[in-house]
Amino acid sequence: MFKFKDVRYKDIVNIENLEIQKGEVTTLVGESGGGKTTILRMLNKLISPTSGEITYKGEDLKKIDSIKHRQSVVMLSQSPVIFKGTIEENLCKGFIYQEKALPKKSEMKKVLNIVKLNKNLEDDSNRLSGGERQRLALARILLLNSDVYLLDEPTSALDEKLADELMDIIIKEAASFNKTIVMITHSNKIAIKYSDKVIEIENGNVKEEKYEWCN
């Protein structure tokens, strides 16, 4: 799905070859500051490589319209933006930006259940805790039903038990619709349990790629 060829980004990332397969869960691990988030940002076209080429479905990312690309490839940042207003208004934001028909209330309630956010659609988003805000942001991108989900520490604000439950649900949902997930985590447990492939990033380079770490 994604291929890197001689990709550099300033002095942060230097990747000769890397391939991310369709329908798989690929997890980036490694020390903070090693370039993992920069890789996700390049996949989402928030930034472009200084040199080299990244392709998506065989097409050079540079030639793909950024707005169109982000309809297919959505990203959840480590500190996601929560907008003023209700939970419903937050869930609709992505559809408004992408100029899509708004989701049904039943669909919104379903995705809140998926991420275990026990709130009403009319509740004020500003009153949510850090963990609840992270789950709302995750619900917002899952609702968009895109081909690829880029997740930067999606469970960092959650306790271990809830993080495990939430990842189990997300992975099963993604697998049932053949979605592709690229995520960053500092949890070895999550990386080993839920990944098809684990890629260790060190100083912006691919140090190791392993399938045998995973179940």
CA 152 to chain centre: 6
Are β-strands 51-56 and 59-60 bridged in parallel, bridged antiparallel, or unpaired? Answer: antiparallel
| Residue-wise pLDDT tens digits, 111-131 | 999 999 999 999 999 999 988
What number of other Cβ atoms are within 10 A of residue 54's Cβ?
Answer: 21
pLDDT value at position 179? Answer: 96
Q: What would the two tokens of residue 152 be?
A: 């930067």
Pick the CATH number of 2-210 from 3.40.50.300, 1.10.40.30, 3.40.630.70, 3.30.70.870: 3.40.50.300
Distance of alpha carbon 41 from alpha carbon 90, whole angstroms? 22
The confidence band for 166, taking pLDDT boundaries of 50, 70 and 90, is: confident
Residue % of the chain over a pLDDT of 90: 78
Q: What is the 3-state secondary structure (H, E, C) of 143-184?
A: HCCCCEEEEECCCCCCCHHHHHHHHHHHHHHHHHCCCEEEEE
The mean pLDDT of the chain is 93
pLDDT at position 213, please? 54
More confident residue, 36 or 162: 36
Under 8 Å CB-to-CB from 178, ≥6 apart: which residues?
22, 23
Contact 165, 187 (CB under 8 A): no
CA distance 96 to 89: 10
pLDDT tens by residue, 133-148: 989 999 999 999 999 9
Give me 158's structure tokens.
Answer: 């959650």
Are 31 and 208 in contact, with CB atoms under 8 Å apart?
Answer: no
For residue 159, pLDDT over 90 is answered with no
**What's the order of all strands across the beta sheet hosting 13-20?**
13-20, 2-9, 51-56, 59-60
Cα angle 191-9-48, degrees, rounded to a multiple of 5: 95
Mean pLDDT of 142-170: 91
What are the φ and ψ backbone dihedral angles of 212, each rounded to 5 degrees? Answer: -75, -10
What is d(CA 79, CA 206) in angstroms, rounded to the nearest whole number? 25
Residue 212's pLDDT is 56
Least confident of 65-79, 88-102, 161-175: 161-175
**177-185 average pLDDT score:** 96
Give the pLDDT confidence of 17-52 residue by residue, as tens digits: 999 999 999 999 999 999 999 999 999 999 999 999
